Structure 1
């Protein structure tokens, strides 16, 4: 959505406390770091951080800027608008939880955080590596499988972090699913979902009813593990997954399959061996392939974020399908 016309004289030192959705989008889309620099410098001074602004980071919807110390150590500051302030609270808690745990892959270390005019900000220490999305299509099949296996081991450890219902991240999963059954069709229609897939939306979820797992186990779920949130590096032993970023959509629930949907859709990209490597490393036992497919597909349709038209175009083979059951084999290549 192009909303830049809403901004005339942008002053980051006077961020609006209650912007409309459109105005918040316009501010977040405003890329000129010189207009943000006075605010960032003030925040760094308030937190006793000797950091200078380098540039705006292009990836991500929230305004994020690369900062640098005198010794050239990289840091990042991210701003979250009042409209999505829950992401600030979610990412802050998730980063602290990951930092306190023993995980096989690095996550950003939170250096400072706070709120200004109802806008949240997070300052994190930079991680080594480059975005997987920048090179993923250049990787060999073996390298993609290796990344999937490493990601599976990371998820297994992250999902083992002890969690409580008192966490700000906690979501009553059955209540959430019930709400999604009522709201998802209208949301997908507003997004302009392709007509044949929209027509099959309600028939599919009605034919394959989903219920939350009957377990009291709780899992810290990143819920957005796509190549744009994964960092990799090359070494003597090949390519390795070295960082996981952007925990703004993190949650705590009793449904670990919600994590699996994103990996199947956006990392496997229709490749059976890649998806199988993730599931095997995650130690997920596929007892009933049909039930698993139905659960993954239904969770994807009911998901509260994302645009399904993107998946139709992104995952090879789906564009030629006419309904969700035909698309399952490409979206989740088990």
Structure 2
């Protein structure tokens, strides 16, 4: 039986192995034959190269994801959160079929949802449809945050340990990602000054981190105004609710006041709550986000030529009064 490599360099996995399905096709198919609900579907193997793991569909009904050893934490988050949310929210999410481990590589089998990624549709949508979708995303997020944490309370990483660690490493991270001097030389002071705006005691919620156009599905129709499904819970954790707002605000709101307001109103923020203090908290959380990368995530054309300070960048991304 062909197996996945005993060891795998994370950089090689992400930049080469994951993107070339021919490199992992045979062990992937053998695993499906061994654990899949219908081994004959190997002839309907459809690999995907997006995401951070090995992913393929088998026919119209099934998805299998395989996680390398160094992404085991994503495997744990995915299957635990998927099962916990099943039946708890009205939005379709994949149904969990099974999970397991083979020589350090872990896998999950789940149902395949209909629809296409919002990312594939977003460029052709007008602002009216975008605002309607963002309102829907806000409502969906609020419903998920209302689901009791229950048995997910110990899902790693623990917020009380995660957040201080992010504070200590934030300057080094943004230097490594090539942010300009005006950002890196002032970011630690900005963080320290802004921390009092966060509550000292939080009500923990399930953070999926996946309210982005890559992991939200919609139906490809003439008018698109709602979300048809949500996938991928590998980055889920338990923590402060506003952390989940960052994905849609950066990837889909485009720095437009009407789109930012649509998302926040959908979540439940009244006009009096959409304040400069909220904007500062969001900026702080984005700086400290575990995947924070302003260059890759801020989808405002020419933004790097428009700002010369953290405060100006904050004003641009989150135009709240």
1:22 maps to 11
CA gap 1:242/1:30 in 2 versus in 1, 3 angstroms: closer
1:79 to 2:81 alignment = no
**Equivalent position SS for 1:104:** coil
CA gap 1:133/1:48 in 2 versus in 1, 3 angstroms: closer
**Contact 1:174 1:212 (8 Å CA) reproduced:** no
1:95 to 2:82 alignment = yes
Length, aligned pairs only: 316
CA gap 1:303/1:290 in 2 versus in 1, 3 angstroms: same
1:245 maps to 231
1:257 to 2:248 alignment = no
Deviation at 1:236, TM superposition (A): 8.6
**Contact 1:316 1:330 (8 Å CA) reproduced:** no
Aligned residues: CA RMSD? 2.4
Deviation at 1:303, TM superposition (A): 1.0
Q: Structure 2: 5+ residue runs without aligned partners? A: none
Correspondences of 1:315-334 after superposition (within 5 Å): 315-316=300-301, 318-319=303-304, 320-334=306-320
Summarize deviations over 1:290-325 as a string: whole Å, max 9, x none: 21111100110111114222235x224632211111
One of 289, 298, 301 as aligned partner of 1:303: 289
One of 180, 188, 191 as aligned partner of 2:177: 191
* Separation in 2, partners of 1:21, 1:214: 36
2:193 maps to 207
Residues 138-147 or 59-68, more deviating: 59-68
1:32 maps to 21
Deviation at 1:212, TM superposition (A): 4.8
Deviation at 1:258, TM superposition (A): 0.1
1:127 to 2:116 alignment = no
Deviation at 1:215, TM superposition (A): 4.2
1:225 to 2:214 alignment = no
Residues 116-125 or 237-246, more deviating: 237-246
CA gap 1:237/1:138 in 2 versus in 1, 3 angstroms: closer
Deviation at 1:109, TM superposition (A): 1.4
Summarize deviations over 1:252-292 as a string: whole Å, max 9, x none: 11x10001122211121111111211111211244361211
CA gap 1:133/1:39 in 2 versus in 1, 3 angstroms: closer
Deviation at 1:182, TM superposition (A): 0.8
* Separation in 2, partners of 1:195, 1:189: 8
Correspondences of 1:18-167 after superposition (within 5 Å): 18-25=7-14, 28-33=17-22, 35-50=24-39, 51-52=41-42, 53-68=44-59, 73-101=60-88, 103-164=89-150, 167=153
1:293 to 2:279 alignment = yes
* Separation in 1, partners of 2:6, 2:201: 41
TM-score, with length taken from structure 2: 0.89
1:180 to 2:166 alignment = yes
TM-score, with length taken from structure 1: 0.86
Deviation at 1:207, TM superposition (A): 2.7
CA gap 1:48/1:64 in 2 versus in 1, 3 angstroms: closer
One of 281, 293, 307 as aligned partner of 2:266: 281
**Equivalent position SS for 1:240:** coil
* Separation in 2, partners of 1:267, 1:259: 13
* Separation in 2, partners of 1:231, 1:198: 36
